[in-house]
């Protein structure tokens, strides 16, 4: 039995409370030992034994910790991850790992230099809807893929309260917020594109940063992938649309994990990650036996954010390759920056 990985969180805001702490606490491969809370001390309400530090430097220099989760504002990821690596810690870094691909490379090189893992938290590979898309692709029922549309639609016309997302500074704006998810899902399913084009827009009243993004990624044999993110979509379109030589697949974004975690559901609960009824994907394809068009409804697997923590454990303790590779991250940031 492996020793639990003693872990510290750099913040207990939304990402720490929802996306990290519940999994680190529930997964026996980890020990959630410490957290930074600069102002209000809330973590002990949920985790009575946790150490609560006032500053990031105090936590990073805690000699008992092996892994630091860097979930501070986007512009600070690079500096905090670098400091943690220099203190001899492994790092799990929220997306985006850094504002630029050059800075990301510095972190990966430093990780090799100090013999510590640099891991990037791209949890949306484990969304139920994304796993449904992967399932359908693996069946081959769509034939040769010709056209793909992935999108994140939101209706948020007001300027949000998070200054680091809404103010012109490194890694701010919608493309740095949702772009890493869209691009990572695409790289996971289809690999690196041959070329890309990008369009950004500022449309909300008084916005200072892009709130619309459109990417066109071109692949071999003419396959096109179109990625969209917008803060001004009042009625969301399907999040996944794929067309191939033998059929099409259409699926709403329907993963429930974030909402369930926000409501306090444990990742170990029976219904965790299960989509609501009626959210199945629609697969329309030519049956190879009858050569007639058929339609079937494809239920998703359970969403499984725990999967990325299992991968972190396997990489740190057993040196197994992490599924989100350095090349994935450098490619992602080369497209975004």
The whole-number pLDDT of residue 171 equals 95
Q: Are residues 135 and 224 in the same domain?
A: yes
Q: Are residues 45 and 133 in the same domain?
A: no
Give the pLDDT band (50/70/90) at residue 1.
Answer: confident
Is residue 207 a contact partner of residue 160, using CB atoms and an 8 Å limit? no
Order of strands, sheet of 247-251, starting from the edge strand that comes earlier in the sequence: 195-201, 212-218, 224-230, 145-153, 240-244, 247-251, 281-286, 293-298
Q: Are residues 188 and 270 in the same domain?
A: yes
Query: Which pTM value belongs to this model?
Result: 0.95
- Burial (CB < 10 A; 0-12, 13-18, 19+), residue 239, is buried
Question: For helices 101-114 and 77-86, what crossing angle results, to 10°?
Answer: 10
Q: Are residues 195 and 287 in the same domain?
A: yes
* Residue 330, in any domain of the structure: no
* Residue 333, in any domain of the structure: no
Q: Structurally, how many domains does the chain consist of?
A: 2
pLDDT tens profile 198-244: 999 999 999 999 999 999 999 999 999 999 999 999 999 999 999 99
CATH of the domain at 186: 3.30.360.10
Give the pLDDT band (50/70/90) at residue 81.
Answer: very high
Q: How far is CA 97 from the centre of its chain?
A: 11
* Residue 334, in any domain of the structure: no
Q: Are residues 184 and 217 in the same domain?
A: yes
Q: Are residues 282 and 189 in the same domain?
A: yes
Number of H helices, E strands in the chain: 12, 14
Q: Are residues 265 and 137 in the same domain?
A: yes
* Residue 16, in any domain of the structure: yes
Is residue 5 a contact partner of residue 63, using CB atoms and an 8 Å limit? no
pLDDT tens profile 291-309: 999 999 999 889 999 999 9
The whole-number pLDDT of residue 164 equals 87
CATH of the domain at 108: 3.40.50.720
d(CA 258, CA 121) in angstroms, rounded, equals: 15
The whole-number pLDDT of residue 10 equals 98
d(CA 236, CA 239) in angstroms, rounded, equals: 8
Backbone angles phi and psi of 276, in degrees to 5 = -70, 155
Q: Of 126, 146, 132, which Cα lies nearest the Cα of 250?
A: 132
* Residue 332, in any domain of the structure: no
Is residue 82 a contact partner of residue 110, using CB atoms and an 8 Å limit? yes
Q: Are residues 96 and 187 in the same domain?
A: no
The whole-number pLDDT of residue 40 equals 87
Domain region containing 12: 5-123+307-325
Q: Are residues 150 and 263 in the same domain?
A: yes
Is residue 208 a contact partner of residue 168, using CB atoms and an 8 Å limit? yes
Q: Of 335, 282, 329, 257, which Cα lies nearest the Cα of 23?
A: 257
What proportion of the chain, given as a percentage, has pLDDT over 70?
100
Q: Are residues 149 and 108 in the same domain?
A: no
* Residue 78, in any domain of the structure: yes
pLDDT tens profile 138-191: 999 999 999 999 999 999 999 999 888 999 999 999 999 999 999 999 999 999
Q: Are residues 192 and 48 in the same domain?
A: no
Average pLDDT over residues 260-276: 96
Average pLDDT over residues 249-259: 96
Q: Hunting for tokens 């071109």 — which residue is that?
A: 218
The SS3 of residue 242 is strand
Any idea what the Cα angle at residue 84 is, between residues 78 and 90, rounded to 5°? Answer: 105
Q: Are residues 89 and 77 in the same domain?
A: yes
Is residue 91 a contact partner of residue 67, using CB atoms and an 8 Å limit? yes
pLDDT tens profile 13-72: 999 999 999 999 999 999 999 999 988 899 999 999 999 999 999 999 999 999 999 999
The whole-number pLDDT of residue 284 equals 98
Contacts 24+ apart (CB under 8 A), 10-15: 10/35, 10/36, 10/56, 10/59, 10/68, 10/69, 10/70, 10/71, 10/72, 10/80, 11/35, 11/36, 11/71, 11/72, 12/36, 12/37, 12/42, 12/43, 13/71, 15/71, 15/94
Q: Identify any residues that bridge with 149 across adjacent strands, giving them in sequence order.
A: 226, 241
Given CA atoms 320, 324, 327, 333 in this order, what sign does their dihedral have?
negative
d(CA 251, CA 16) in angstroms, rounded, equals: 29
**CB neighbours of 242 closer than 8 A, spacing ≥ 6?**
133, 136, 137, 142, 145, 147, 148, 149, 248, 249, 250
* Residue 331, in any domain of the structure: no
* Residue 337, in any domain of the structure: no
């Amino acid at each position: 039995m492996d020793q639990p990985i003693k872990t510290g969180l750099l913040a207990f805001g939304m990402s720490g409370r929802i996306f990290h702490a519940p999994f680190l606490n529930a997964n026996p491969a980890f020990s959630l030992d410490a957290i930074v809370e600069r102002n209000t001390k809330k973590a002990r309400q949920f985790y009575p034994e946790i150490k609560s530090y006032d500053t990031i430097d105090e936590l990073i220099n805690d000699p008992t910790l092996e892994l630091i989760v860097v979930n501070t504002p986007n512009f600070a990821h690079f500096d905090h991850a670098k400091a943690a690596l220099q203190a001899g810690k492994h790092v799990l870094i929220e997306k985006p790992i850094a504002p630029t691909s050059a800075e990301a490379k510095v972190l990966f090189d430093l990780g090799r230099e100090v013999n510590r893992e640099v891991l990037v938290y791209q949890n949306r590979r484990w969304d139920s809807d994304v796993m449904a898309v992967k399932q359908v692709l693996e069946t081959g029922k769509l034939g040769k893929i010709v056209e793909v549309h992935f999108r994140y639609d939101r209706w948020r016309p007001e300027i949000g309260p998070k200054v680091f997302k809404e103010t012109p500074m490194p890694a701010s704006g919608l493309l740095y917020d949702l772009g890493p998810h869209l691009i990572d899902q695409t790289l996971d399913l289809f690999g690196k594109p041959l070329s890309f084009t990008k369009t950004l827009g500022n449309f909300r009243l008084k916005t200072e940063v892009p709130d619309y993004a459109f990417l066109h990624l071109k692949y071999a044999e003419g396959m096109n992938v179109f990625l969209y993110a917008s803060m001004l979509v009042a009625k969301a379109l399907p999040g996944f649309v794929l067309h191939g030589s033998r059929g099409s697949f259409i699926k709403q974004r329907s993963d429930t994990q974030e909402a369930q975690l926000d409501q306090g559901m444990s990742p170990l609960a029976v219904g965790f990650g299960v989509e609501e009824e009626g959210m199945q994907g629609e697969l329309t394809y030519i049956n190879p036996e009858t050569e007639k068009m058929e339609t079937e409804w494809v239920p998703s697997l359970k969403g499984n954010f725990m999967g990325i923590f299992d991968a972190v454990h396997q990489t740190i303790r057993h040196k197994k390759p992490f599924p989100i590779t350095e090349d994935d991250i450098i490619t992602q940031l080369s497209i975004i920056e």
